Amino acid sequence: MARRDYSLTGPEAARAVERGLAAAEWYHSDVPRKEMKALMKREDQLAIRDTIILFGCMILFAGIGIALWPSWWSAPFWLAYGVLYGSAMDSRWHECGHGTAFRTDWMNNAVYQVASFCMIRNPVTWRWSHARHHTDTIVVGRDPEISVMRPPDFLRLVANFFGLFDTWNSLGRMLLNASGRLAPDEATYIPESEQPKVIRIARIWVAIYAATILLALVTWSILPLMVIGLPRLYGAWHHVMTGLLQHGGLAEDVTDHRLNCRTVYMNPVSRFIYWNMNYHVEHHMFPMIPYHRLPELHERIKDDLPEPSPSIPAAYAEMIPVLVRQLRYEDFFLRRDLPPTARPYREDLHDEVPGIPAAMPAE
């Protein structure tokens, strides 16, 4: 199979449109309208509680880290602060970007702006990028957020556990935007009317990072960067660990989230950091349901979904052999079985999609 072009400006983008995969009609499990309306109801209390816990812990861990600096006794507190800064902010960016975490819009926007800064993701750019991700999930040439491409780049995947490639690219985009320009792929999904906002925010961020670096130079200490900037590197591992499981090793170019998303049961700490995005099939199928209602949605529709992975290690044990095999067979993917109670996959839509085998090829 010829290597696919994952860019948004290459031939795969036009091919996806020709094949009817752009803004296609997706499969949804049946949920009565009254139940769906109840599940979609937003509220402030739980998100306020979780946000107070998050920022309270960040202030506590950073404060202890500063107090113990430069002793190695400060390291555990910086590591904990880093996970909240470099990973929990990823899920807060995501959920508040959907506008479903809080009922009050300004609360969603406030947390979204802070989380976007921590993750170095321009809040205007990524609002449109993520909208495209949901519209054209894992459609090659259309989805700007495909993290595991074929064949997989294992060096890049491992390096991103330390935020190396993602942070470098994010800083590059920030500087490019601050210079008054957008990357070619950004121009494909950001409306012209929104593009000046991208540039303005990038310039504000550059000023903040410049002030932080200047303070570090004046004090001759990396401590300011331990608070702002570096946690995006040393705290990235959790959001990468969970994020790779969302779609890794699954189907491309299909219109059924049961084929290209993975739900994983996780421990309570990871679920707090990840804000229940481990229920990923459910989230993609019904993206306007708040994070705290996803477990309830899962129970409601689980008979129509593939069996969830029982844990993070089990999910990796399932995914890694698939990625290894994709080094040789780029058309290989894992097709997860449905329970007898589920409505079947639309074979007429998916069996004839180029590059997508009906079953995993034999050794």
What pLDDT digit, counting tens, does each position of 230-284 carry? 999 999 999 999 999 999 999 999 999 999 999 999 999 999 999 999 999 999 9
Per-residue pLDDT tens for 20-33?
999 999 999 999 99
| Domain ranges for the chain | 27-135+146-350
Mean pLDDT in residue range 84-88: 98
Q: State the pTM of this model.
A: 0.92
Tell me the pLDDT tens digit for each residue of 31-50. 999 999 999 999 999 999 99
Whether residue 102 has pLDDT greater than 50: yes
More confident residue, 346 or 87: 87
Mean pLDDT, rounded, for 52-56: 98
Q: What DSSP state is assigned to residue 85?
A: I
Is the pLDDT at 80 greater than 60? The verdict is yes
Read off the pLDDT of residues 302-347 as tens digits, 9 standing for 90 and up.
Answer: 999 999 999 999 999 999 999 999 999 999 999 989 999 999 997 6
- CB half-sphere exposure, 242, CA atoms < 13 A: 27
Is 362 a residue whose pLDDT tops 90?
A: no
Whether 351 shows a pLDDT value over 70: the answer reads no
Write down the mean pLDDT value for the chain: 93
3-state secondary structure of 203: helix
Within 10 A of 227 (CB to CB), how many other CB atoms are there?
18
pLDDT tens for 127-156 read: 999 999 999 999 999 999 999 999 999 999
Return the structure tokens found at 348. 């007429």
The answer to whether residues 316 and 341 touch, using CB atoms and an 8 Å cutoff, is: no
Kindly indicate the confidence band of residue 157, based on its pLDDT and cuts at 50, 70 and 90. Answer: very high
pLDDT digits (tens, 9 = 90+) for 186-209: 988 999 999 999 999 999 999 999
Q: Is the pLDDT of residue 363 over 50?
A: no
Distance between CA atoms of 303 and 289, rounded to whole angstroms?
19
- What percentage of the chain has pLDDT greater than the value 90? 93
Q: Among 21, 25, 26, which Cα is nearest to 353's?
A: 21
CB 16 within 8 A of CB 292: no
Taking residues 283-306, what's their average pLDDT? Answer: 97
Sign of the dihedral defined by the CA atoms of residues 283, 289, 294, 300, in that order: negative
- Candidates 233, 200, 229; CA nearest to 212 is 229
Q: How many CB atoms lie within 10 A of CB 144?
A: 20
Tell me: pLDDT of 111 over 50.
Answer: yes
